[in-house]
Structure 1
Amino acid sequence: MESNMYAVIKTGGKQYRVVAGEKLKIEQIPAEVGAEITIDQILMVGEGESVKIGAPLVAGATVKATVLAQGRHDKIKIFKMRRRKHYRKNQGHRQNYTEIRIDGIAA
């Protein structure tokens, strides 16, 4: 029953389709490694043919997850240049992330 249940969650300004047991990297949230978190911004819950779509959120639906790690993505390079103007600018950026494992979806 729980194996084909999925949800669309919203966190960090992004939307993710999640199933139980899945690991994913989301925008950083303040939580200790090993902590249980509850995500209550559920936009949609689906199981087989039955689909519940929120307006905008599904009432009473939650997703339980465990924080696995806090880390930083690989560095990206930002290079800006104006041709013939003697202007060059190098910049790097590493985005923080929180890795979570989805434990269960409660509709």
Structure 2
Amino acid sequence: MYAICEVKGKQYKVEEGNRIRVEKLNVEIGDEVKIGKVLLISKDEEVMVGQPNLEAEVRAEVLNHQRHKKITVIKFKKRKGYKRKIGHRQSYTELLIKSISLN
């Protein structure tokens, strides 16, 4: 059984026991998160598609908060002596999917 759910505007394919990385959520480590925007559920050969959402819920546990590797962005203008180098590290939350249930 798997589901497609939406968290902070991005869609994720989840199964029970999977770990997913989502944009940083303002919750404590160890808390339970309920994801209510479930777009699709596939159970055996049966597929249920919401229009736009299903009456379903995905429960997940917050494992940790971390940051991705740094990416470097360089801007420059040729022959003008202008150069700029900046870095960015995106924060994320790692979730462990506990259950997928239909209401």
**Normalising by the residue count of structure 1, what TM-score does the alignment of the two structures yield?**
0.92
Equivalent in the alignment of 2:13:
17
Deviating above 6 A after TM superposition, structure 1's stretches of 4 or more consecutive aligned residues are none
Equivalent in the alignment of 2:91:
96
Residue 76 (structure 2) pairs with residue 81 (structure 1) = yes
Equivalent in the alignment of 1:52:
48
RMSD over aligned Cα, in angstroms? 0.8
Unaligned runs of 5+ in 1: none
Deviations 1:13-50 (A, max 9, x none): 11000000000110011110000110001011111210
Residue 63 (structure 2) pairs with residue 68 (structure 1) = yes
Unaligned runs of 5+ in 2: none
**Normalising by the residue count of structure 2, what TM-score does the alignment of the two structures yield?**
0.95
SS in 2 for 1:37: strand
